[in-house]
Structure 1
């Protein structure tokens, strides 16, 4: 690509990836990072299945706001929303089966759904911990297991997951349960990559830093957001399209030789020198 660095707005439309005819399943795709991922794949011709606990919200913007039309010369892409609670094993498995049946194929699985109520360590209950681990970590196992036969039938596939810098790299007060789940996600990525490689299935993740989403509002007010942005070396909070860009790369043929990895997308915030240079 040429021109000035892309620092804001939608991910560049000329990103060299074509997903026409491919089916992408995105969990937690109704808002925030998930919605950004859905829109990015749809813009590049993919058929997108949006799974969410509140799928009605996705249905409304799928219909009324209209995702970008497929590129010229390509068949119109199909997009559907599915109501699902990924804390349930059977629900996760059934979701994958329904998507493959409805679309006729599955090429990319993006597990983006997450549960992370801000909860002080001594207030974490068995219910909070169980749901956090179920949605963030266990569902990844069940979804990937269910998707593997579909990928094998296609001669390969992509398992992608939205991890986090919280857990694998940094800590945040009130998110011990979330941090533990995301550290587990990164372990899954490495181990599953080894086991699924013989089937030409790659497994990778993206670790977002502080991304401007509705969920981020739970962590503090606008003043806190401003302080965080000022401490980021690139001088701003991330946007959903920043994460979507990394997902597009990992799902594309440009990343066919990449597996067992995570890409940190945080504006440089977790660099060891950042706290001293930008405090």
Structure 2
């Protein structure tokens, strides 16, 4: 007998969809197999649900990718609720993940985020939220770029950073938005953060005059050789033009 998808299952599936390139939404993906076991569904059913989400994704529509087109009503409800509410998605998905990992769970249990009144409790929950948010943001951004630096294509995960275009401290509303993230290696992330590199309206690398002043092989290899090159484009969440404009106008060092 066919079993309807629950809200909890759909939230987990959507969070996984956001962290996975379109080309890996298939039943042989080990992570899809793991998720299917967790929620007691077949890998094929999970893969089809993820592809259903893709048919609702405006980012893929811009690239001419339409998905299956036979999504359910609840699929759209979940997509519309969470697509621009990243903090809520990350927190609920983390709680659900921990819930479903528990083999002895009470399926009637209410899942919610406990908000304590005591100051010490508030500090703990704030730190927990930040850890969860940063972890999910990193997963989404690195996955979006196939775990490659957008500038130099370095693909060693330990040396990759989910860089914020508008810094974390400057705008609370953009902190978890995948369009505010770009995958960079540690060197290019540091330079980007310091305003020594940025990206123009055509997503090409621009190098600060301060970098051009330094004459040595390392600078040529890591920076000058990439000047005016297009970035390695992401699979789903393109960097926002508005966010890049903010970086160029407020952080990028344009003159000596």
TM-score relative to the length of structure 1: 0.25
Computing the radius of gyration over CA atoms, which structure comes out larger, 1 or 2? 2
Q: Higher relative contact order at CA 8 Å, sep ≥6: structure 1 or structure 2?
A: 1
More strand by share: 1
More helix by share: 2
TM-score relative to the length of structure 2: 0.27
